[in-house]
Amino acid sequence: MSDNRIEIAPSILSADFSIIRNEISEIEECGAKYLHIDVMDGVFVPQITFGPKFIKDIRPHSDLFFDAHLMITAPENHLEAFIDAGCDCITIHQESCIHLNRALNFIKDRGVKCGISIVPSTPVSAIIPVLDIVDLVLVMTVNPGYGGQKLIQSCMDKVVELNELRSSEDYGYLISVDGGVNLDTVQDVVAAGADIAVVGSAYFNAIDKAAFLERMHSLARESFH
């Protein structure tokens, strides 16, 4: 982790897809390192966004860390395509994949980082069997499917729990928080132990995006000390 104590990962779900290359370049110019890429299939979640071709097309135009969040049913059927598209980390949901251990190891064996995500109604206990193999745990703090929702406070207990488990069991995963992160909630997210904060609408609604990221980092630093 950088001295910022938290990485802010802008989520392109809230971007204007008609000017996506500009939107992504701006994220890079603002100093962010991660690009959170929400893939939705209209089945696991209500909306449909895009598939691996979109990611493959934008890949040559950005050096950002491509953090793909697959909100799709049976993600194991599509992993090869997302790996081939150039994702740096592929996160799948506990709720949509039966053979989690196999799917996560498949991603890992291809040299790509693997993540596991849980929706608000899923407890941490559901992913304990795979915590020793994942590089990232993505805690959803809203019900997945839309940007612009309010953070569900009770989900923060899971961030604390994952942070404690990481220390006690010596696990190596990063903790990412996704949903409702903004200037009002980022300090709680950092205090709970997150390493990455996914920020969709709050980033894209900001008039001055660089200043917004700077403010998020400064609040994060205050919270950490």
Give the active site residues: 38, 178
Q: From ligand DX5, Zn ion, none, which one binds at residue 209 (CB under 5 to 8 Å depending on kind)? A: none
Restricted to residues 37-96, the positions that interact with Zn ion (CB under 5 A) are 38, 69
Cβ atoms of 158 and 124 closer than 8 Å: yes
| Integer Cα distance of 111 and 187 in angstroms | 33
Minimum CB separation from ligand DX5 for residue 159, in Å? Answer: 15
Give the binding site for ligand DX5 (CB under 6 A).
11, 13-14, 36, 38, 69, 142, 144-145, 147-149, 178-181, 198-202
Rank residues 34 and 212 by Cβ distance to Zn ion and give the closer one.
Answer: 34
| Integer Cα distance of 59 and 43 in angstroms | 26
x/- mask, Zn ion, residues 168-197, rule CB under 5 A, reads ----------x-------------------
Phi, psi of 200 (to 5 degrees): -100, -85
Q: From Zn ion, ligand DX5, none, which one binds at residue 166 (CB under 5 to 8 Å depending on kind)? A: none
| Integer Cα distance of 149 and 141 in angstroms | 9
Q: Which residue has the tokens 């400064």?
A: 218
Three-class SS of residue 101?
helix
